[in-house]
Amino acid sequence: MDFIGSGGNSSNITESDSNKTMLVGSRNITYRNRNHTVQVATLGDMEAIPEPYQSCLTGLYIGTAVVAIVANVLALTILITKKRSSADLRKYLINLAISDMSMAAFSLPFAYSDMMYGYWQFPLFWCPISHFISTCSVCVSIFTLTGIGIERSPKESQ
């Protein structure tokens, strides 16, 4: 099977049983068999959200990512330079800020575009990397918050 992405990059995937080809051009997705050609969809049909709402959501996502990155850089700066909080809690908060910053920088833009346009428009090798970073960031946040909760819970005296 030949797969041609919108960037002009192609990768060949062969099927031994049949002579089927799927072509993704700049705007059309076409399925070819030995006997006939069928246009499955256009990329406009695959978009999850109508065109007018995309620009509004684009602004919201960009704003969210920028605020998250700036706020976490500010939090890291304060936590590293000022020594007002306890050393144990500071380690957790630095870990949480780094996790949130990596989520905002490496996951939000890619998840947004995948959801908005209905297909992955970045290099194929980046898809599993982006999902891995996203999953790790969420797990680190959950475990960090759990650690904070366990550490700050009142100890039962025996």
Mean pLDDT of 18-24: 46
Q: Could you report the per-residue pLDDT of 98-122, keeping only the tens digit for each?
A: 999 999 998 888 888 877 777 788 8
Q: How far is CA 82 from CA 15, 86, 100, 125, 148, in A?
A: 61, 11, 20, 40, 20
> Domain segments of the chain: what residues?
2-46, 51-152
* Residue 140 C-alpha from the chain's centroid: 16
- State the Cα–Cα distance between residues 132 and 71, nearest whole angstrom: 23
Q: Could you report the per-residue pLDDT of 134-150, keeping only the tens digit for each?
A: 999 999 999 999 999 99
For the chain, counts of helices (H) and of strands (E): 5, 5
Is the model more confident about 42 or about 133? 133
pLDDT for res 146: 94
Strands in 7-92 per DSSP E: 10-12, 21-24, 28-32, 37-42
Q: Tell whether the model's pLDDT for residue 17 goes beyond 80.
A: no
pLDDT for res 33: 58
Q: Tell whether the model's pLDDT for residue 123 goes beyond 80.
A: yes
Determine phi and psi for 19, rounding to 5 degrees: -115, 65
Is the model more confident about 55 or about 5? 55
Q: Could you report the per-residue pLDDT of 47-96, keeping only the tens digit for each?
A: 667 777 877 888 888 889 999 999 999 999 999 988 777 778 889 999 99
pLDDT for res 50: 72
Give the residue from 96, 97, 107, 99 showing the smallest Cα distance to 61.
Answer: 107
Is the model more confident about 17 or about 103? 103
pLDDT for res 18: 47
pLDDT band for position 20 (cuts 50, 70, 90): very low
